[in-house]
Chains A and B, each alone.
Chain A
Amino acid sequence: DAKTTQPPSMDCAEGRAANLPCNHSTISGNEYVYWYRQIHSQGPQYIIHGLKNNETNEMASLIITEDRKSSTLILPHATLRDTAVYYCIVITTRGGANSKLTFGKGITLSVRP
């Protein structure tokens, strides 16, 4: 699976949009971009994933560049409960040995009041 690069940390004000960047310059054509987050003392939680089109769900939006070498996770109205470590992961979703998630260190988002 391709590797990802994320800055170690960022912060934003409560109620504002949080834009979390991720670089995945070696992504392959059949690899998806997944975002998970981990709130302190909990297991990782799925947020969103996409292949090449932008995606939106009730939690966030995922913007993938046209060349697919980078993406941005957008939390439109950050709350204090969004303070967490956010992991950007690229992976094929075929079954078999390639289907495990490989986590980096992620980006720590701190939402301030």
Chain B
Amino acid sequence: GAGVSQTPSNKVTEKGKYVELRCDPISGHTALYWYRQSLGQGPEFLIYFQGTGAADDSGLPNDRFFAVRPEGSVSTLKIQRTERGDSAVYLCASSLTGGRWFFGPGTRLTVL
């Protein structure tokens, strides 16, 4: 079956613009995670959904970052008023009640 997919694979935007990053988890996986990875660092946790609700959003850096998962499957990470420091690879993972986490290939965001 298909793994976790993320779109777009690359996104270039200008400082101050709004962006949306999409994650399609493995079908049936109830848990969905967003991570951010800067060059040379390990992935950094942003937010975790269990079903439709955000169970833990403690990793969101500020209120410019927001994520939704309205039907408990696809999730969108939204970044308002992008800054150059937001440039990173954004990773999505899904899991079936923990145990194993499956990661997507990531979206590389570049803010000019």
Interface size on A, residues (CB 8 A): 22
B74-112 to A contact mask, C-beta < 8 Å, 1/0: 000000000000000001010101111111111000000
Q: How far is the CA of A49 from the CA of B97 in the complex (A)?
A: 16
B26 at the interface (CB under 8 A from A): no
CB-contact partner of B42 in A49, A95, A106, under 8 A:
A106
How far is B42's CA from A32's CA once the two chains are assembled, in angstroms? 19
- The CA of A43 and the CA of B101, in the complex, are separated in Å by 11
**CB pair B56 A46 closer than 8 Å:** no
How many inter-chain contacts with C-beta < 8 Å in the A-B complex?
Answer: 56
Beta-carbon contact of B42 and A103 below 8 Å? yes
What 1/0 flags go to A77-113 for Cβ under 8 Å of B? 0000000010100000111110111111110000000
B104 and chain A: residue at smallest CB distance: A43
Chain B nearest Cβ from A108, distance in angstroms:
10
Q: Which residues of A contact B97 (CB under 8 A)?
A: 95
Q: Kindly identify which residue among A45, A87, A95, A105 contacts B98, using a CB–CB cutoff of 8 Å.
A: A95
Question: Which residues on B are within 8 Å of A, measured CB to CB?
Answer: 4, 31, 33, 35, 41-45, 48, 50, 55-56, 91, 93, 95, 97-106
8 contacts between A and B (CB under 8 A): A43-B105, A43-B106, A46-B100, A46-B102, A95-B98, A97-B55, A102-B45, A105-B41
A residues adjacent to B (C-beta < 8 A): 36, 42-46, 49, 85, 87, 93-97, 99-106
